[in-house]
Each structure stands twice: as C-alpha cells, then as structure tokens.
Amino acid sequence: MSKTGHSNIAFVSDDAKGNDTKTHYTIELTEKSRPVSVVAHSEKDDYDPYKNRQVEHPTTNNDTLIHLLKGSLGTGILAMPNAFYNSGYIVGFVGTMIIGVVCTYCIHMLLRSHYELCKRKKVPSLTYPAIVEASLLEGPAWGRAIAPYIVDITNAFLLVYQLGACCIYVVFVASNIKDIADYFYDDDIDVRLFMVIILLPLILINWVRNLKYLAPFSSVANVITILSFGIIGYYMFHDPISVEGKHAVGSLSNFPLFFGTVLFALEAIGVIMPLENEMKTPKKFGGNFGVLNRAMIAIIFLYVGMGFFGYLKYGAHIKGSITLNLPQNELPAQLAKGMLALGIFITHGLACYVAIDITWNDYVVKRVGNSPRKLLWEYVVRTLLVLVTFLLAVAIPNLELFISLFGAFCLSALGLAFPAMIEYCTFHKEKSGLSKAIMVLKNLVIVAIGLAGLTIGTYTSLKEIIHTFFVDGNDHNY
C-alpha cells in the first residue's frame, strides 16, 4: 500500500450570512503520514457552471449573435412607425431608447442571477422558469410561498407570447405572399389558402431539433431582411421627409399601445436562456462587449430608425405594418415583401423552438419516459404546436391588432417585473445597508413599470381590439 497521497475531509459550517457552506480540506501526506499542507476551498466558490456545461451541439458567439438578431428582427420592427404614430416622434425616439436600455439591463440582471443560482445549486444551467422558482426559494417568506406555482405561471406567459408571435408570423408570411400573387394575377385569392400552402414547410423547419443547424438559415434570413429594409429605406427617403403635420408628442391615451408594441418588438426574453445555455462560451454572452450588448445596440438603432423615419414619411397614413404603405404596383416593393416573408418564415422556427422546449421538456417528456417511440413523440409535439399557430392564424387573420396586447401582457411580466423580482430574491441576503436599499428601490421601480404596462397596456389593447372587431368591424389585415 502506498504511503504517500492525499485525503479529502469535508466540514459543514455556517458562513457570515448564516448559510450552510461545505468546505473541503485537502491534506497531503508524506511517507511518515505527517501533513505537509492544508488547502481549504468552498464548493460554491469552486463550482463554475460555465465550465460544467456539456452541450451536444454548442453554438459559437457568432451563431448566437445571429440567432439573437434574427429573433428580434421580426414583425415588430415593421410596426414601429405605427408605434411612433401613437407616441409622437420625439416621445417615440426617446422612449424607444429608454425602453431598450431598460430591457437590456433586465436581461443582464437575469443572467447574473442565473449564474449565481447555478453556482449555489451546482448545476450547469437552468431554464427561465427554473430560474424564477430557484430565486423565490432563496427569497423571503412570500417568495417561498408562491414558488410551487411559479413554474407553471412563467411557462404560461412564455407559451402565450411565443405561440402568439408565431401566429403573427403565419399571418404576415401568408399575407405578403398573397400581395405578391395579387401583383402578378388578377384573381383575389383568400389569404387562408396561402396559410395552407406554407403549413408543410413550417412543420419541416420546426422539425430541426438543434439551434446550431438553424444558424445558417438565420444568417440567410438576416441578409435578406437587411436587404428588404434597404428597399423600405429607399421608399422612405425617396422623397423629402418633413415634420410638418406630424405630432412630436402623441395622445397620452395611446401611449400604452406604443409601450406594448415596443416591448413586443424589442424583447427577446423567451430566447435569451435557450441561446445562452446552448453556447460554447456562455461567459461571453453578457459583459460590456458581449454578444447581448452588441446585438441590442444594433437592434435599438434599427428600431428607432425605422419608427422615426417611417412615421415622418407616412404620418397619419401609416398602417399596422410599413410594408402596407409600399407601392402596390412596383416590383422592388413586391421583392421586399417576398424577402421579408422568407425571413419571418425562418424566424418562426426560432420562436417556436422556445414553445417546443417548454412543452416537451417540462410536460410531455415526463410522461413519455424512455419509450422506444420517444423521438416520434417529440416530432408529434413539434407538429401539433405548429398546427396550433396555424389554426389560430386561420381563425383570426388580422393578428397585428394583438401585437401590443402580447407585448403589454406577456413581456411586461417576463421582461421587466420577473427579472427584478429574481435579482432581489437571489441577492437580498448578500447585500446590506445602502447597496441593498439601492437594489430594492431600483427593482421596485422596474416592477412598478412592468405591472403598470401589464395592466394599463393590456386594458388599452383589449379596448382597441373590441372597438375594432365589434364597433367599427374593420378588418385590419397584414
């Protein structure tokens, strides 16, 4: 038997904050069994979630950047001129930047809390609902009381938002294909027929099981989306733009519609954790010069530009999507619609990925277990969720009216209120004095903004929807 080596001894003690901390003492032994060195280390301090992640198909920083850009450059940006119409061009300009900065900051809060909770639980990664639950369990008594129910609540918000966005994508793609068909043919074909035509391709793109394999499609979608924005920009700047007849400050009653639309457009909270969890180098997602900040700077710049100049160009005549204001009898305009339709079609696969991940991993896989038909059941779930978005789009083919509703109802909670609550519950024991007071005040302000957006924005959006459907009876279609 060897007379040299080392021995690990673990002790459990209370740290300065009253938490149980397990400490290992590594004792090296000589031939005479005398200890020559004692090294102490804490399990919590030693565990690095990033280094312990094992992802089967990890994505690179560029892949993640492309996915994040594509996940944010959806139909929301095309509704930004209409949002500026509701707010006024000055309020819209400043308001969009402020909302963008706040949304980005809330994502950083979520990422910091995620990393800390993973260290404490000694797990490589957590989903968004699991982060909310873990933070509440670490929080005060009121947090621990609602923790058993929070996963299902969070999943409900995520599913409503992601599936709602996918419904809008179906309507948008089908309607733009219809406009192109109307340009070449005299027959007025029902938009629902085009929804049926794109159903099979939608199912197939959602059968892609790994984000890494969607990256090339996202790259193509980003290129053609930028090209189509170039064509839209050509039409916006073709004639001189003037502020004459445009409102610098919009009606206060319409501001919730602006707020909800901008949240829907800017927030990609549903894809943040899946993207970070799939990265090869997740540490580079956050940080001052990380993937998140680079993507959000570009996204905010594009959204402000599209909203500001789109409203100044078309004024009170701006429609729910700026593509509806493009000339109907010119080939470049039709080309832009076709490219955007393809780009949004690809985005459907990324948006639905989150809904599939929640439905499959949190609910279905527990019932399937290790069945030999497990893979088949996964494809069934993927197909059914696409069919849900398809059927809702067919039933309500003017879903652009729901953009501000989804933003106000879902993203005020998921993108603002929840991250603030998560940070407080995660770090409330580790802060004291002035730093804790600042954290509490900051998070209370963010939660208040989120709750105000949820209640007032949802009420205003529902009021507009009811007025349109049941009072005016207008059919605002993409």
Position 400 scores a pLDDT of 58
At residue 395's C-alpha, the angle toward residues 393 and 71, to 5°, is 15
Task: Measure Cα distances from 160 to 298, 406, 411, 439 in Å.
Answer: 27, 8, 10, 30
Dump the DSSP string for 371-394: -TTHHHHHHHHHHHHHHHHHHHHH
Other CB atoms within a 10 A radius of the CB of residue 20 amount to 8
Tell me how far apart the alpha carbons of residues 250 and 215 are, in angstroms, rounded to a whole number.
40
User: CATH number of the domain that 312 lies in?
Assistant: 1.20.1740.10
Position 148 scores a pLDDT of 92
* Side-chain-facing half-sphere of 112: CA atoms under 13 Å: 16
Structural domain containing residue 20: 5-45
Tell me how far apart the alpha carbons of residues 247 and 231 are, in angstroms, rounded to a whole number.
26
Position 13 scores a pLDDT of 44
Co-location of 41 and 165 in the same domain: no
b/e map 314-337, b = 16+ CB within 10 Å: bbeebbbbbbbbbeeeeeebbebb
Tell me, what DSSP letter sits at residue 23?
E
Q: Are 24 and 10 in contact (CB under 8 A)?
A: yes
**Token duo for residue 255:** 């501001």
Tell me how far apart the alpha carbons of residues 273 and 129 are, in angstroms, rounded to a whole number.
10
Q: Residue type at 465?
A: I
Co-location of 137 and 77 in the same domain: yes
Co-location of 128 and 88 in the same domain: yes
User: CATH number of the domain that 14 lies in?
Assistant: 2.10.70
Q: Are 154 and 132 in contact (CB under 8 A)?
A: yes
Task: Encode 158-208 in three state secondary structure.
Answer: HHHHHHHHHHHHHHHHHHHHHHHHHHHCCCCCCHHHHHHHHHHHHHHHCCC
Q: How many domains, the chain?
A: 2
Residue-level pLDDT, tens digit, the chain, 478 residues: 444 444 444 444 444 444 444 444 443 443 444 443 343 444 456 788 888 788 777 888 888 888 788 767 767 888 899 999 999 999 999 999 999 999 999 999 999 999 999 999 999 888 888 999 999 999 899 999 999 999 999 999 988 888 888 888 898 899 889 888 888 887 778 888 999 999 999 999 999 888 778 778 777 887 888 899 899 999 999 888 888 889 999 988 889 989 988 888 876 676 787 788 888 888 888 888 889 999 999 999 989 999 999 999 999 888 878 887 888 888 899 999 899 998 888 878 877 887 898 898 888 988 887 888 889 999 999 999 999 999 988 877 665 567 788 788 888 898 899 999 999 999 988 888 888 899 999 999 999 999 998 999 888 888 887 777 666 654 444 4
Co-location of 334 and 407 in the same domain: yes
Co-location of 18 and 124 in the same domain: no
Tell me how far apart the alpha carbons of residues 184 and 88 are, in angstroms, rounded to a whole number.
37
Bridge partners, residue 5, by sequence: 29
Tell me how far apart the alpha carbons of residues 355 and 340 are, in angstroms, rounded to a whole number.
23
In a domain, 361, yes or no: no
Give the distance from CA 248 to its chain's centroid. 30
Position 472 scores a pLDDT of 62
Co-location of 11 and 107 in the same domain: no
Q: Are 257 and 82 in contact (CB under 8 A)?
A: no
In a domain, 113, yes or no: yes
Continuous segment of H or E residues that includes residue 24: strand 20-29
In a domain, 360, yes or no: no
Give the distance from CA 366 to its chain's centroid. 26
Question: Of 102, 97, 67, which is closest to residue 84 (Cα–Cα)?
Answer: 97
Tell me how far apart the alpha carbons of residues 436 and 237 are, in angstroms, rounded to a whole number.
50
Position 421 scores a pLDDT of 95
The SS3 assignment for 113 reads helix
In a domain, 477, yes or no: no
Position 116 scores a pLDDT of 93
Strand order in the sheet with 20-29: 5-14, 20-29, 35-42
Co-location of 82 and 38 in the same domain: no
In a domain, 478, yes or no: no
Task: Measure Cα distances from 373 to 56, 207, 365, 369, 383 in Å.
Answer: 21, 16, 11, 10, 15
Other CB atoms within a 10 A radius of the CB of residue 207 amount to 14
Co-location of 109 and 160 in the same domain: yes
In a domain, 111, yes or no: yes
φ and ψ at 48, to 5 degrees? -115, 110
In a domain, 150, yes or no: yes
Co-location of 15 and 124 in the same domain: no
In a domain, 404, yes or no: yes
Co-location of 33 and 182 in the same domain: no
Bridge partners, residue 467, by sequence: none
Bridge partners, residue 9, by sequence: 25
Co-location of 233 and 273 in the same domain: yes
**Token duo for residue 15:** 């740290």
Categorise residue 319: left if φ over 0, alpha if ψ from -120 to 50, beta otherwise. Answer: beta
Co-location of 168 and 313 in the same domain: yes
What is the pTM for the complete model shown? 0.77
